[in-house]
């Protein structure tokens, strides 16, 4: 089963909670604070494994959650940070934020890593809040919640060579004769339903990856047939090998085939036109193929090399492989990727958000929202009076009280924040 797209939910680990504790020493009746900090929550990390070529692991598992950090301990001991959750992905994996459509990461190189969501920071223990004014604080911070997001994971196979052409022209047969891949071969259309990859080793010790793609037909770029959803796998191939049934077994004109497929590639993405292309005239063992090839050459005015072969008799195959390897030698390995992402994991700068916003609910309650204020709220342990007091001081410092007054809040009005409600008190 080949999977090249999946919607996935990822959640990084929450930070561990800070602890409220005090030193217990002999003869010291009231020791100072000794509650340790919580450990950081684990990140969710995607890491490239060259050995993979499908997003298979996402088929049944669409939730990835990293562990939370350990809570702080007594004697100022720091809770352990959680290990990152590392998910192996094939090279060519792109990660897109489902809500914003932003590309979070584009992973192409073996062992390349990207943090998809960051773990929360551990909450600080009560020791950290000690001050001359408050020598024995009776509160600690909760851990920061880990980031979570819905993402789309997309695979763009990374192959050096992509085989394109009409159905039944012999793409899979070629792959099966030059690599150890065992694609299904048959004389009906759309035998190949998903891309197959194989590694070609030429007789002079060169090697490249070849992708056999489902057949294209007219209108493929508009979604007709199967080809469209796989055309993006051509985007990253360095060389396009265009296979044509020169024996015209199905009665089509080989030259028309050539034009039609190129038109589909162009409609899909103009950039594909500048990708080096070789023409393979296949099925040359069949009667009529020689004549057709002559006619084809007469009509062709593009400056493209033609390689006549038969995948059945293997004639011409060896020379074809040399030609492909020679062409690949002239094209730098990363030329295709550089256009897109310069090989790097891209972390777009996250939008600067206001620390809080105020809106009115239908029942007249004032609603506070925003990343920063919600984070503060979640890191506050309201079971402790001092923590709650600290929270209201923080709101005042942020300007929340003033902003609420500007909006007309009065004593006793309801304020909402996440799932909680409280009363505004002058
Ligand atoms: N005579 C002859 N037949 C060939 C040659 N290459 C392939 N065929 C036959 O053509 C038919 C189609 O071959 P496939 O390799 O499945 O074609 P494909 O291009 O992969 O087709 P789709 O997967 O449907 O797009 C099969 O019956 C092959 O045996 C060749 O060089 N000569
Ligand atoms: Mg096939």
The pLDDT tens digits of the residues spanning 14-55 come to 999 999 999 877 666 667 899 999 999 999 999 999 888 788
Query: Which residues crowd ion ligand 2, with CB under 5 Å?
Result: 171-172, 191-192
Which runs of E-coded beta strand occur in 213-251?
A: 239-245
Do 14 and 144 touch, CB atoms closer than 8 A?
A: yes
Ligand 1 atom at minimal distance to the Cα of residue 184: 16
Q: If pLDDT is split at 50, 70 and 90, which confidence band does 344 have?
A: very low
Closest atom of ligand 1 relative to the 189 alpha carbon? 24
Question: Counting ligands in written order, which one lies closest to the CA of residue 166?
Answer: 1
* Residue 359, pLDDT score: 93
Q: What mean pLDDT is predicted for residues 131-153?
A: 94
Ligand 1, atom 32, residue with closest C-alpha: 283
* Nearest atom in ligand 1 to 310's CA: 31
| pLDDT value of residue 181 | 85
pLDDT at residue 306, as a whole number: 95
193 Cβ below 6 A of ligand 1: no
* Burial zone of 397 (CB within 10 Å; 0-12 exposed, 13-18 middle, 19+ buried): exposed
Please tell me if the CB atom of residue 181 comes closer than 6 angstroms to any atom of ligand 1: no
pTM, two decimals, is 0.71
Q: Is the pLDDT of residue 174 over 70?
A: yes
In Å, how far are 11, 84, 117, 152, 350 from 67, measured between CA atoms? 9, 8, 12, 22, 24
Which pLDDT score is estimated for 28? Answer: 61
SS3 sequence of 300-342? CCCCCCEEECCCCCCCCHHHHHHHHHHHHHHCCCCHHHHHHCC
The answer to whether the CB of 171 is under 6 A from ligand 1 is yes
Cα–Cα distance measured from residue 197 to residue 163, given in angstroms and rounded to the nearest whole number: 10
Cα of 287 to ligand 2 centre, how many Å? 23
Statement: residue 1 has pLDDT above 80: no
Pocket test for ligand 1, best of 174, 183, 185, 288 (most atoms within 8 A of CB): 185
pLDDT one-digit tens code per residue, 288-325 = 999 999 999 999 987 789 999 999 999 999 999 999 99
* Distances from the Cα of 41 to the Cα of 128, 139, 228, angstroms: 19, 21, 41
Q: Is 189 in the pocket of ligand 1 (CB under 6 A)?
A: yes
Query: Does ligand 1 lie within 6 Å of residue 186's CB atom?
Result: yes
SS3 content of the chain, % helix, strand, coil (to 5): 25, 25, 55
pLDDT of amino acid 337: 47
Does ligand 1 have an atom closer than 6 angstroms to the CB of 191? Answer: yes
Residue indicated by tokens 């309201």: 382
Task: Say yes or no to pLDDT of 136 above 60.
Answer: yes
The per-residue pLDDT for 52 is: 83
pLDDT > 70 fraction of the chain, expressed in percent and rounded? 93
Instruction: Give yes or no for residue 332 having a pLDDT over 80.
Output: no
Atom of ligand 1 nearest to the CA of 309: 31
pLDDT in tens, 106-116: 898 889 999 99
Count CB neighbours of 159 within 10 A.
26
Centre of ligand 2 to C-alpha 174, Å, is 9
φ, ψ (nearest 5 deg) of residue 348: -70, 145
Res 328 pLDDT > 70: yes
Provide the pLDDT for residue 27.
Answer: 66
Which residues lie below 8 Å from residue 287, measured CB to CB, with a gap of 6+? Answer: 247
Is the separation of the CB atoms in 367 and 384 below 8 Å?
A: no
Q: Residue 207's pLDDT band (boundaries 50, 70, 90)?
A: confident
pLDDT of residue 235 exceeding 90, the answer is no
What average pLDDT is seen over the chain?
Answer: 89
Ligand closest to the CA atom of residue 177: 1
215 lines ligand 1 (CB under 6 A): yes
134 vs 282, higher pLDDT: 282
> What pLDDT score was predicted for residue 342?
37
Reported as a single tens digit per residue, the pLDDT across 259-298 is: 999 999 999 888 888 899 999 999 999 999 999 999 999 9
* pLDDT for residue 66 is more than 60: yes
Could you tell me the distance, in angstroms and rounded to a whole number, from the CA of residue 52 to the centre of ligand 1? 27
Q: Is the CB of 177 under 6 A from ligand 1?
A: no
CA–centroid distance, 245 to ligand 1, in Å, is 9
- What distance in Å separates the CA atoms of residue 293 and residue 206, rounded to the nearest whole number? 29
Q: Ligand 1 centroid vs 302 CA: distance in angstroms? A: 26
Confidence tier at 56 by pLDDT (50, 70, 90): confident
The per-type count for the chain, helices as H runs and strands as E runs, is 9, 18
Give the pLDDT mean for 321-342: 71
pLDDT of 11 strictly over 90: yes
Looking at 122-131, 254-263, 353-362, which range is the least confident one?
Answer: 353-362
Q: How far is the CA of 170 from the centre of ligand 2 (A)?
A: 7
Place 345 in a pLDDT band, splitting at 50, 70 and 90: very low
d(CA 166, CA 170): 9
- Three-state secondary structure call for residue 181: coil
User: Is the pLDDT assigned to residue 102 strictly greater than 70?
Assistant: yes
The pLDDT of residue 121 is above 90: yes
**Which one of 170, 282, 289 would you pick to mutate in the ligand 1 pocket, going by the greatest count of ligand atoms within 8 A of its CB?**
170
């Amino acid at each position: 089963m080949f999977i090249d797209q999946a919607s996935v939910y990822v959640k990084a680990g929450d930070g561990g909670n800070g602890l409220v504790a005090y030193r217990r020493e002999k003869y010291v009746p009231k020791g100072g604070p000794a509650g340790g900090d919580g450990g950081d929550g684990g990140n969710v990390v995607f890491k490239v494994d060259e050995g993979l070529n499908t997003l298979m692991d996402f088929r049944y598992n669409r939730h990835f959650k990293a562990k939370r950090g350990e809570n702080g301990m007594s004697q100022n001991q720091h809770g352990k940070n959680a290990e990152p959750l590392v998910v192996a992905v094939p090279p060519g994996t792109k990660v897109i934020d489902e809500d914003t459509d932003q590309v979070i990461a584009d992973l192409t190189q073996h062992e390349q890593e990207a943090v998809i969501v960051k773990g929360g920071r551990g909450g600080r223990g009560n020791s950290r809040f000690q001050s001359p004014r408050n020598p024995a604080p009776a509160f600690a911070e909760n851990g920061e919640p880990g980031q979570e997001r819905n993402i789309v994971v997309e695979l763009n196979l990374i192959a050096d060579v992509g085989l394109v052409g009409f159905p039944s022209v012999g793409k899979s047969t070629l792959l099966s004769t030059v690599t150890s891949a065992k694609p299904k071969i048959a004389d009906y259309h759309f035998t190949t339903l998903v891309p197959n990859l194989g590694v070609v080793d030429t007789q002079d010790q060169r090697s490249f990856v070849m992708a056999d793609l489902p057949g294209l037909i007219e209108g493929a770029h508009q979604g007709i047939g199967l080809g469209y959803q796989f055309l993006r796998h051509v985007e990253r191939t360095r060389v396009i090998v265009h296979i044509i049934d020169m024996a015209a077994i199905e009665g089509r004109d080989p030259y028309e085939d050539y034009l039609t497929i190129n038109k589909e590639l162009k409609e899909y993405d103009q950039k594909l036109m500048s990708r080096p292309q070789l023409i393979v005239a296949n099925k040359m063992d069949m009667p009529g193929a020689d004549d057709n090839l002559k006619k084809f050459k007469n009509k062709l005015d593009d400056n493209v090399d033609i390689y006549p072969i038969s995948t059945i008799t293997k004639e011409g195959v060896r020379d074809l492989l040399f030609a492909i390897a020679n062409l690949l030698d002239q094209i730098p390995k990363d030329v295709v990727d550089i256009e897109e992402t310069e090989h790097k994991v891209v972390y777009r700068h996250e939008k600067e958000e206001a620390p809080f916003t105020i809106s009115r609910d239908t029942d007249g309650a004032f609603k506070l929202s925003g990343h920063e204020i919600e984070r503060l709220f979640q890191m506050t342990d309201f079971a402790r009076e001092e923590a709650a007091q600290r929270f209201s001081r923080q709101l005042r410092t942020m300007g929340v009280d003033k902003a609420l007054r500007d909006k007309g809040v009065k004593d006793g009005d309801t304020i909402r924040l996440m799932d909680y409600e409280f009363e505004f008190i002058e």
